[in-house]
Amino acid sequence: RYILHVPPFIWQKQIEKGKKRFDKEYGKMPKDFRNVHHFVVKELPEMVKPLTENMISENLELSIDQVRSALDYLEKRMTYLFRNKEGEVVWAYPVTVEKTPHKLTFDTGEKIYAAWAADAIATPFVQGKLRNENIAVRVQTECTHCGKMMEMDIDSSLQLKPVDEKCKPIVFVPDVDLLNLQEDSIIDSFWTECVFFWSEEHARLHRKKSHRTRGAYMRVDQMVQVTRIIQSAIFGFDSK
């Protein structure tokens, strides 16, 4: 089995379809819910600990009931956040305070984890938009095929540069309908499946002996395009 290069017009068509669905979802979201969404994503890297309802309530001047209603709505959609058993926000995509293979270090000093490989690329773009400033992030992760350490620098404009010039990252994006998940959480269907590979060769070798066939193996330049479109739709950003 080989990795095939999918013509851009095919995957771009799928991305545009996804964008329209997220645009529709975001357009229906109440303003208070949007504010809660943006707040938890922006604050999680700064607090580096689970966010409580009280913390969100005090900062946004919303009642506990309003905050809880917003969190329930956002978590139910599964593509916005995830809470622990105490009801605290621990995942606010694209970042999480729980340990994953994708460690992020901001040029402003914050250290946190990306939910999965695609979110490691998305983080500086999203945080830059939310903070209204340019953000640079050092990603430390590993190749799923060989376990080799991978490091890359990404900024808010989605300029990506591997620390080792020999590294030509590939991201595997599983074929998951984010708006109609069958699992209890997006974590179950996406976290362990969306991963990095050192190169196309490593991705090809891994594919031959693994179950990762339902999805797309994408170069970082393709991921940049996908990130800009999809994350802008999820957060209501201007993608230009």
- What integer pLDDT is reported at residue 138 of this predicted model? 98
Buried b (16+ CB within 10 A) or exposed e, 58-72: eebebeeebbbbbbe
Tokens of 121: 């690329």
- How many other β-carbons are positioned within 10 Å of the β-carbon of residue 105? 16
Residue 233: both structure tokens together: 């739709």
Residues with Cβ within 8 Å of 171's Cβ and at least 6 positions away in sequence, in order, are 117, 118, 121, 194, 195, 196, 197, 217, 218, 220, 223
Please report the pLDDT score of residue 231 as a whole number.
85
Looking only at the bridges linking them, the beta strands covering 160-162 and 170-174 are unpaired
Tokens 């998305």 correspond to: 122
CB atoms within 10 A of CB 117: 29
User: For position 212, what pLDDT does the model report?
Assistant: 60
Contact 141, 101 (CB under 8 A): yes
What is residue 5's predicted lDDT score, i.e. its pLDDT? 53
What pLDDT score was predicted for residue 66? 97
pLDDT along the chain (240 residues), means of 10: 50 58 66 94 95 97 97 85 93 92 96 93 96 96 96 96 96 74 62 88 88 78 87 75
DSSP, residue by residue, 81-126: EEE-TTS-EEEETTEESS--S-EEEETTS-EEEESSHHHHHHHHHH
Predicted pLDDT of residue 195: 93
Q: Which tokens go with 32?
A: 């208070």
Q: Would you state the structure tokens that stand for residue 187, as one six-digit string?
A: 């974590």
Phi-psi region of 208 (alpha: psi -120 to 50; beta: other; left: phi over 0): alpha
| The model's pTM | 0.85
Structure tokens at 43: 């604050």
Which bin fits 163, alpha (ψ -120 to 50), beta or left (φ > 0)?
A: alpha
Q: Give CB contacts under 8 A, 24+ apart, made by 52-56.
A: 52/87, 52/88, 53/87, 53/88, 56/89
Q: In whole angstroms, what is the distance from residue 149 CA to residue 142 CA?
A: 4
